[in-house]
A and B are shown apart, each in its own frame.
Chain A
Amino acid sequence: MAIDTIEKTAKQIVLTVQDYSLFAHRAVMNLFRPPRYWVDFLMQCDIIGVGSTAIVLLSGFFTGGVLALQSASTLSAFGASNLTGRFVGLTMIRELGPVLTGVMVSGRNASSMASELGSMIVTEQIDAMRALGVDPMRKLVTPRLFACVTMLLFLTILADFFGILGGAFVTVFMNHQDGLQYFSTAWESLRYPDIVQGLVKPLFSGFIIASIGCFYGMRTTGGTEGVGRSTIQAVVFSSVLIIVADFLLTQILLSLLSRL
């Protein structure tokens, strides 16, 4: 009995991964074939990008501030409190900026994509769209996917910038250290591989957020309860996948960029 359950669950997981792979492949390939819905792409850029700006800026600013607070006390024990800028800058750009932005946008947008598309499924709006001769993958999924990838890149840059500003605020006004020194150590320690690492990660996070959000939305079953379930699954899986992908990408990028 238990083996049957394990077998059934394993098959279900393999089937879900297969469905997701086909879904993501179709969503990406649609960009290379007409019709392309540029208006929908721009609307999604507005919803995902402009709509998420406030939460990304606030979380970036305060995370940078916390980093400065925590690091200052530790670094001062070694007489290296002047390295706060370097610590905050590198941590924000290489790790926390991309991951934090990904998780924040995932909570906001993967959930909204799953619930919006899920509601459209249960109210037969997706069927209506297909019946009217419009491919929902092209009209709904592909614009969200590419808008999310594009916007996450810019949101991450903003989060990095405001994280460093938050660190500067704490360093200058709370730790009473030199602001110029903070910025100069942050700037001098930065290398191109750090920036590349920080800008590659959001591309993957954006892809994960939109593809997982749309995937669970489009396979919603079971009425309004099903919409809730899809929304939870979308947020949980996209958030976890962002962190897993971050780990793998860090490993790969570190080994690749160290050779440069």
Chain B
Amino acid sequence: MNASNPANGASPLSGHAAVEPTPVVAFQNVSISFDGPPVLDDVSFTVGPAETRILLGPAGVGKSVLLKLTNGLLRPDRGSIRLFGEEISHMSEQALFPLRVRTGIVFQEGALFDSLSVRDNVAYQLIQQNVPDDVIDSRVHEALHFVELDQTFSLFPGSLSGGMRRRVAIARALIREPELVLYDSPTGGLDPITSTTIIELVMKQRDFYRTPSILVTHRLQDAFTLCTHRFDSELGHMVPLPKGHADPNTTFLMLEEGRLIFDGSLHDIVHTDNKFVREFLL
């Protein structure tokens, strides 16, 4: 996790995200249902290199399902999903593992292994790959330092607070420097201060490593903070972008009853005529 200086060029609010030729993730007409009406219906979108897509929508609208489809934890009934350029909709579980290793995911409640220490949780992939213990310890310390939880190295998840668990989950997702990060409501159920800490970490990952990501949230405040701030590596915290500017690579998706009803920039979402989006923003 050696940080290089980020390029944090903010664009005017009206600017659209640049369309990249080879998307990291591409959904095309994806539908899925579980013994009932479709949870996702004909969903199409892409995530370009260095792009952060914020997936908005009320609870139970299919946001987490979409995230699990992205790295093949669920299979669509119809449509095509491409991850790192490879079609994964019909890929076998074994063939998916190498692609998943390139992807980091932060689950809604952290999903830490409660019988393992924080060290073993964060290093889970490295342990499976028989990496030497001293290398593991050093990498874990580095990852925990990134999420500012150095002191939790030997603790067990049961003794951590909800916010700390999410941060450990972020460290676990980032330890192998993934090429795509999926955040499933990383701030859900947390107090505002802890939520801000988590969003700052997401921003740090976006601005330091320029890792493409999909962030699921129903907290508008988090979404707008990500768009209107950047991480200042010298100050060590996030700072607001000049007034009227937004991060050009951070854009929005919005789901309503399984359908993608919005795909656009911060400017687009605040000026949209879509009634549902406007109600959601209020």
Contacts and interface: CB of A to CB of B under 8 A. Distances in A.
Does B associate with A? yes
Interface of A: 35, 123-125, 127-135
A129 B71 CA distance: 13
A15 to B, nearest CB: 13
B128 A134 contact: yes
Contacts of B128: 35, 132-134
A127 B124 CA distance: 14
Nearest to B175: A132
17 contacts: A123-B109, A123-B111, A124-B107, A124-B109, A124-B111, A125-B111, A125-B112, A127-B111, A128-B112, A128-B113, A131-B105, A132-B100, A132-B125, A132-B128, A133-B101, A133-B128, A135-B94
A127 B93 CA distance: 12
Contact of A130 (B73, B98, B114, B172): B73
B98 A133 contact: yes
Nearest to A128: B111
A127 B100 contact: no
8 closest Cβ contacts across the A-B interface?
A: A124-B111, A128-B111, A133-B101, A133-B97, A131-B105, A124-B107, A133-B100, A132-B125
A46 B204 CA distance: 44
A135 B109 contact: no
B103 interface: yes
A125 B114 CA distance: 9
Instruction: Pick the most buried of B100, B111, B172: most chain A CB atoms within 10 A of its CB.
Output: B111
B113 A135 contact: no
Interface residues of B, number: 22
A128 B68 CA distance: 10
Contacts of A127: 68, 73, 107, 111
A125 B113 contact: yes
A124 B64 CA distance: 12
Instruction: Pick the most buried of A124, A125, A131: most chain B CB atoms within 10 A of its CB.
Output: A131
Nearest to B108: A124
A226 to B, nearest CB: 15
Instruction: Pick the most buried of A125, A128, A134: most chain B CB atoms within 10 A of its CB.
Output: A128
A134 B125 CA distance: 8
A31 to B, nearest CB: 16
B111 A133 contact: no
B93 A135 contact: yes
Interface in B95-126: 97-98, 100-101, 103, 105, 107-109, 111-114, 124-125
Given A124-B107, A124-B108, A131 B113 contact: no
A135 B97 contact: yes
Interface in B146-172: 172
Interface in B192-222: none
Nearest to A33: B94
Nearest to B103: A131
B124 A132 contact: yes
B71 A131 contact: yes
A138 to B, nearest CB: 10
Contacts of A132: 100-101, 124-125, 128, 172
Given A123-B109, A124-B109, A131 B73 contact: yes
